[in-house]
Chains A and B, each alone.
Chain A
């Protein structure tokens, strides 16, 4: 078996969920009864960082994601993040888009600290965010 075919993810192409994902999900469902998803408690938007600033800070890419909102008492707020902080790397991996943030929200990261590299007030700073578990929606 390579995966589980599904038409629920795309109307155009027949897609299959890879077996590695299936195994991980099944195992978590069996042990915890639900899938935990990582959660930072941040509202983010991609942003272009001006060339001069990117050069000065020796950033690897031209962009990052800026914090528009911080969930009160959420993982990011507990780590000291504030509106206006620009996230440029997580665990040393450059962040150019909100999709890049998703990679640290995989179930394996829940409860673990991630090192966030931020541009704050024109300077680089770091924060350690302990990835929380996304609160499950009330059924």
Chain B
């Protein structure tokens, strides 16, 4: 196996990156996107594609009308479809396996520079991997474009700039978004309870039938105290752990006489649509 050089990796990522513009569009503005599959599926930010239609320009200058398939404003993701085939699709990476310090590449179209590339490292994984923060130089126009690792595997969608850092939606969140899942769910009703010594727990008041929690044998009265061996310290921690996990989430909980901390691997499921 030959290891592609950095220039090669960069070139391949640039060819998978597209320009996304609103239609009817202003001449300026717009953002970036990434070819997710060769048959014309494009991923970008929801704030880049706000309408039902958009214009997508490929690296070779060809332009297509795109229809917006799906948007999730909560995760700031949108999926677009163009009528094309054999496109140079990007390779998705596993954002859950990312480590701080890994070399990353961002490609986009800032200030009208097409396919501009910038590099940096993973700075942090805030909100229990709800975001990938990287110290790459982004500018307006980068939104919706790829953040990739040194092998060119897309590990995030560049979404915003905060405190000089680029914040990207992790690629695993994109995968869930594409499965039509509005987010993984435990299928439980919880009551946050403050515990002693500043710890924080979630008491299970209800476990939905057929839910991920039921399959993991969780029951009412169980007290969830941590995820992935990290104790909960605030109200947001469980939500963040669920959102940022892969297919399974290790939960620590107390049951019965509390003599031992128990652990269970929950296979997360899509949130069920709620009846209005």
Contact = CB atoms under 8 A, between A and B. Distances in A.
A50 interface: yes
A83 B220 contact: no
Interface residues of A, number: 20
A72 B195 CA distance: 11
A120 B221 contact: yes
Contacts of A50: 207, 219-220
Contacts, number: 51
A68 B220 contact: no
A84 B257 contact: no
A60 interface: no
A84 B203 contact: yes
A82 B258 contact: yes
B205 interface: yes
Contact of B221 (A48, A66, A69, A72): A66
A86 B193 CA distance: 15
Nearest to A46: B205
A73 to B, nearest CB: 12
B193 A68 contact: yes
A83 B196 CA distance: 11
Interface residues of B, number: 20
Interface string B242-259: 000000000000111110
B12 interface: no
Interface in A9-43: none
Given A45-B205, A84-B203, A84-B254, A122 B219 contact: yes
Contacts of B255: 84, 121-122
Interface in B209-225: 219-223
B261 interface: no
Contacts of B205: 45, 47, 66
B234 interface: no
Interface in A76-135: 82-86, 119-123
Contact of B220 (A66, A69, A82): A66
Nearest to B253: A84
Nearest to B221: A84
B220 A86 contact: yes
B203 A121 contact: no
Contacts of A82: 258
Interface of B: 191, 193, 195-196, 201, 203-207, 219-223, 254-258
30 contacts: A45-B191, A45-B205, A47-B206, A47-B220, A49-B220, A50-B219, A50-B220, A53-B219, A66-B220, A66-B221, A68-B193, A68-B203, A72-B196, A83-B201, A83-B223, A84-B203, A84-B221, A84-B222, A84-B223, A84-B255, A86-B220, A86-B221, A119-B221, A120-B256, A121-B221, A121-B255, A121-B256, A122-B219, A122-B221, A123-B256
Given A66-B220, A84-B255, A121-B219, 5 more contacts: A45-B191, A45-B205, A47-B205, A83-B201, A84-B222
